[in-house]
Structure 1
């Protein structure tokens, strides 16, 4: 695209200089999601706008570099991807790197079948687009567009993908069949008009119509209208037609013979019959050749027909030009009448002089594609195909490289091949619709290192729609929506990867893009963390082997205790509890596993503690809660930053329930932890940065719990020491039989 039209314009005509003097310029930002652009006014000097106390509001324009496929086009590009994928698999299984793989008959047969699948599907789309059906929205591409694709790809198959074993046979009949299928002449309406006349030869269209049917090999129509001349007033014409009809209907065709040798022999015999007919025509006296009152001289017209059957080059070329036919019709007729042994490899030599007389239409992209295909100029054909439709150039180039028609080596810059260039251009056109990311990356991943890197970037920016069973709000990566795919109804089930994320995961595995898969899983995990679905977040971090992320989840669980309170914290702790076993088997470092185990155990403690506190009456029975706290310290799963918090919990339990006493051994463990905290916290008195860091490691979390009151934290620990000492004294008394 050379320009984008903005309505209303950001800069009015003739105001560009004023716009520049005002210190403003136009800026463009590329969307990370698709090929759309954001256009806006910005200051020339980024710092100048900061001093403006009241910046003027400016509109922001959004424009797209390509048109997103809709309606019938979406169906077309989606279904043809299946054929393209089959082509890639064929290349992989057949040994694409082997330069001679396409010489295999089986491989060529498979390629021909897939190429015909392309042709048939294009035909279906053309027929569908041609029908005058009521539609919910207008067609994005007209029936004429699909017809052009149909004629071009089918010609490509005829010329370069013949049936295995038939590569070196004459091509004239196949060209004429292609021409009659796609460029129907003469029209049915002309035939109906002439057949309704009693004396059709008096109509000015009779001889052009008859000549055209003979030129196109339509022997039945030709014989029918020649038979009407049996009523012609000229006896000479009636006699000649009587000889011409059996000759015309007996014209030998290669498809009716088992060998080319038999066909060639019969063609010589048939040509001798035509020569005898010419002798009969020459016998007709000059004064008898134009006496019937015809609109045109019947003898001249019949002579042209016989000249075509004789295979006279000048006659075929002149008649085609007089009939308004183009170079394609001359080429097809050449292989039927002039050179019945015309091979595919000989076509360029025939096409060139024909085009000198009847050149292709340079303004018609379809005609230029046909001309370059017949001239064996694949690269030029691809250039015109790309201007007609990126789809055609991409898929034709894909087949051409496998046939060795275009170079399979990178260009002069050493990056991409001709095939990759057109495939990537087509993929970029699909990228105009973000919801077609699956198609976009499939084509990109088929294009070497450059394509793989581009596809990686697309995958990393695909919106992730994650909806959980408890109907949390939907989340997106990059903040963009993906419409029309129904992903908003997908659910993320515990332990499973489904929906868009599952498809991305499968795509990465299929194309061996492990690093991309891990990045996407990490993004999904962060989104789930924001939605407080921490159990699922751990599963995605595990899939990405991001063990630091697992540690981050554990920290978020513990942080919930301070930000939301004990009850929300215990729910999150329960959510991640089921992940511990799978983490242990996944190779996660023990430090992160233990941190998560501590979060779960601390959640269990809070659950027991608050459940027992809710009971009424004497003897609250907080011994189980105390045992849980002591167990975390004795088993060594509590991070040292939480020791002070756990000891403060011990203080609260023993103060609230004097009957809750740790054992002597447990009390000694608690006192040792307390001594270690006290010893390191005293290091702050030295004033060294190391001492302050160590004190923060031990007291930081407790200080946070007390709103940053370090003095209060130290006093709390002194209270813990006193309470533990009293509890230890009571335990000694109880153990010695005292009351």
Structure 2
């Protein structure tokens, strides 16, 4: 079953019931219910029995088969979008590291030129990634997967982020220089007018001024500061039939091509002097233009004088002319504001820009249906909070990363509101919520969440505890055991290890232990007891460790000593690690360590016994009793398993004192059983022999007989294989 979400509505396909059949569906005793997944943001939607018992009694029982639909509150990133969010997360992480170091040194980012230079560089990295993704999405190439978001979407991100960079993230030392050149460069980069095609068509004509597009094209190039294109077509006017226009065009060309620009001067004072001289030349041109007789101001096509006067009005810096011309050309408020800093107020600074923009917007308001235009206007007006609100509607990625940059440069308040979240944290967590829709992006998701204080950390903890670890061995019958193990080992190294590293990085020890417990449970299910012991120990889950040992010992009871010995061989390295780790030994209760030691030593005993190493096997038996490693419930089993060594006619593996020790343990068992403690001593042996206490005691009679004979042989020979006191 499938479900699609659109504008807040989830559509089920096929539908649970047809249109108009809601009443019939309700009468069937069912209602629509859902369950949320903790792994990601998917919803399982299904028809469930009505919660009202009165309705359930009166209606027919629901059908046995139920359709389950899977829907998502967010559309998970795919295709180019996943690459985009992954690559930009690297920039985000770099900024967090910088801010963390600055906080550690108690340094204000705004007061550190070196730090601000890095922040500006990172902001430019965001801008470049938006540009690259826009270019990639624009390519007309065959793709294995369709684009999730088109080139137009990334173009909008590109324009908005780059405008933020222009207005709020200038290079250190350039914060107070006039902004006109930067605004015009931004406008010409993102909103190209006039088009190259228009210029090519006009330049191919012998008398281009006869084309209705000629003067609008020339005015637009003059507005945009495209001096080369303007100079070319002003030169074309040397062939115009009006000698007045020929002369005026010749005078205008150097004014447009040689207009003083701040970037060409090393000192702002020199720029101001050059601008005044240039303005004087513009006044002279206006006087020449006004002297043209009324009768000479038109050609056979239109009034060229009015058009030329508009261009002169632009270079004169007349705001009314600029607004009129922009309106006639179909330009918007952005173009007026950019032109304002080039021709009207050449010394316009960032802090003065909002006042100019507000005046322009009164006459040329932004398009309220265009989110991109609304974001631009909010940034121009110096309203970062409003810009973030609109950016979140365009793309939660944009709002999160703008807010992440705005807070350290103090454009927005870092203090939390009533929700206990700051504005930055709100937008970053909203973006992280979107990333959580794709479980494969869990590592990036928690990076964003952990940057958002206590609330974000708690959310990230929940994500980490639900990361799919993929520890189960492949169930594909066609896959070889070796291949299945290889796949499992690769996933173990890739996911579980990375989750642990993430917990260490963010100092989430409790979560790390919880994940280790979850992993240990999976390893138990897979029969990977060595790994289960390792992760129980890492989680300091001592009861869990005890359960693993019990399960391992159960393998002896169920499968016999051979399988048991092979199984426990995988636990031996974990025991060695525990023995060598002093801190672990201090934290671990002794009872669990002793049980683990017994399982390993007991397995070693059976391994040596199976490989005819009777001497070493005998040493293991005696050591388990002398060192009190063997639990009382296993004494009887251990004695029964040692009978084979006692009955060997070719060698004597126990000393007389060893035999005495075994006799003492056997007698203690009989004594305790006689006192009513049989459950403490014979339960395991009873299960091994698949009988009750009576059968267990019968088996111990064989042990008694073997020990008596062995001890008699020791007395006859006088040595018993080793001198008495060999252990001392």
TM-score of the aligned structures, taking structure 1 as reference length: 0.89
Whole-angstrom CA distance in 1 between matches of 2:683 and 2:515? 34
SS in structure 2 at match of 1:492:
helix
Counterpart of 1:521 (choices 513, 516, 519) is 516
Alignment partner of 1:255 is 2:263: yes
Whole-angstrom CA distance in 2 between matches of 1:627 and 1:134? 73
Asked if the contact 1:441–1:458 (Cα under 8 Å) also holds between the matched residues in 2, the reply is: yes
SS in structure 2 at match of 1:28:
strand
After superposition, what is the alpha-carbon deviation per residue over 1:427-472, rounded to whole angstroms, capped at 9, x for unaligned?
22222221111211111111111111121221222222348xxxx5
Q: Which of 126-135 and 241-250 deviates more?
A: 241-250
Whole-angstrom CA distance in 2 between matches of 1:436 and 1:417? 24
Counterpart of 2:451 (choices 424, 446, 449) is 446
Asked if the contact 1:201–1:207 (Cα under 8 Å) also holds between the matched residues in 2, the reply is: yes
Q: Which of 18-27 and 116-125 deviates more?
A: 18-27
Counterpart of 1:111 (choices 119, 137, 141) is 119
Q: Which residue of 1 aligns with 2:307?
A: 301
Q: Which residue of 1 aligns with 2:551?
A: 556
Alignment partner of 1:437 is 2:442: yes
Give, in angstroms, the shift of residue 675 of structure 1.
Answer: 3.8
Give, in angstroms, the shift of residue 497 of structure 1.
Answer: 6.8
Q: Which residue of 1 aligns with 2:541?
A: 546
SS in structure 2 at match of 1:6:
strand
Within a 5 Å distance, the mapping from 1:136-215 to structure 2 comes to 136-215=144-223
Counterpart of 1:681 (choices 673, 688, 692) is 673
Alignment partner of 1:595 is 2:586: no
After superposition, the Cα gap between the structure-2 partners of 1:53 and 1:398, relative to the gap in structure 1 and judged at 3 Å, is closer
Give, in angstroms, the shift of residue 594 of structure 1.
Answer: 2.6
Asked if the contact 2:138–2:151 (Cα under 8 Å) also holds between the matched residues in 1, the reply is: yes
SS in structure 2 at match of 1:74:
helix
SS in structure 2 at match of 1:94:
helix
Asked if the contact 1:626–1:650 (Cα under 8 Å) also holds between the matched residues in 2, the reply is: yes
Give, in angstroms, the shift of residue 661 of structure 1.
Answer: 8.3
Q: Which residue of 2 aligns with 1:357?
A: 363
After superposition, what is the alpha-carbon deviation per residue over 1:327-362, rounded to whole angstroms, capped at 9, x for unaligned?
100000111111111111111111112112111111
Asked if the contact 1:554–1:595 (Cα under 8 Å) also holds between the matched residues in 2, the reply is: yes
Whole-angstrom CA distance in 2 between matches of 1:96 and 1:624? 59
Q: Which residue of 2 aligns with 1:346?
A: 352
After superposition, the Cα gap between the structure-2 partners of 1:134 and 1:177, relative to the gap in structure 1 and judged at 3 Å, is same
Asked if the contact 1:661–1:727 (Cα under 8 Å) also holds between the matched residues in 2, the reply is: no
Alignment partner of 1:578 is 2:584: no
Counterpart of 1:240 (choices 244, 248, 262) is 248
Alignment partner of 1:45 is 2:27: no
Q: Which residue of 2 aligns with 1:646?
A: 638
After superposition, the Cα gap between the structure-2 partners of 1:265 and 1:727, relative to the gap in structure 1 and judged at 3 Å, is same
After superposition, what is the alpha-carbon deviation per residue over 1:121-177, rounded to whole angstroms, capped at 9, x for unaligned?
211111111111121122111111111111111100000011111111111111001
Q: Which of 271-280 and 721-730 deviates more?
A: 721-730
Alignment partner of 1:697 is 2:680: yes
Asked if the contact 1:327–1:355 (Cα under 8 Å) also holds between the matched residues in 2, the reply is: yes
Whole-angstrom CA distance in 2 between matches of 1:594 and 1:284? 110
After superposition, what is the alpha-carbon deviation per residue over 1:690-711, rounded to whole angstroms, capped at 9, x for unaligned?
xxxx542322212222335123
Whole-angstrom CA distance in 2 between matches of 1:238 and 1:624? 114
Q: Which of 695-704 and 356-365 deviates more?
A: 695-704
Give, in angstroms, the shift of residue 474 of structure 1.
Answer: 7.2
Alignment partner of 1:457 is 2:462: yes
Counterpart of 1:12 (choices 13, 18, 36) is 18
Alignment partner of 1:394 is 2:386: no
Give, in angstroms, the shift of residue 635 of structure 1.
Answer: 2.9
Asked if the contact 1:24–1:42 (Cα under 8 Å) also holds between the matched residues in 2, the reply is: yes
Whole-angstrom CA distance in 2 between matches of 1:67 and 1:151? 24
Q: Which residue of 2 aligns with 1:483?
A: none
Asked if the contact 2:474–2:488 (Cα under 8 Å) also holds between the matched residues in 1, the reply is: no
Whole-angstrom CA distance in 2 between matches of 1:197 and 1:28? 69
SS in structure 2 at match of 1:27:
strand
Q: Which residue of 2 aligns with 1:327?
A: 333
Q: Which of 173-182 and 630-639 deviates more?
A: 630-639
Q: Which residue of 2 aligns with 1:33?
A: 39
After superposition, what is the alpha-carbon deviation per residue over 1:258-309, rounded to whole angstroms, capped at 9, x for unaligned?
121221222122112212221222222223223x212x21111111111111
Asked if the contact 2:120–2:170 (Cα under 8 Å) also holds between the matched residues in 1, the reply is: yes
TM-score of the aligned structures, taking structure 2 as reference length: 0.90
Counterpart of 2:143 (choices 135, 151, 173) is 135
Counterpart of 1:380 (choices 386, 389, 394) is 386
Q: Which residue of 2 aligns with 1:504?
A: 499
Asked if the contact 1:360–1:368 (Cα under 8 Å) also holds between the matched residues in 2, the reply is: yes
Unaligned ranges ≥5, structure 1: 476-485, 613-620, 685-693
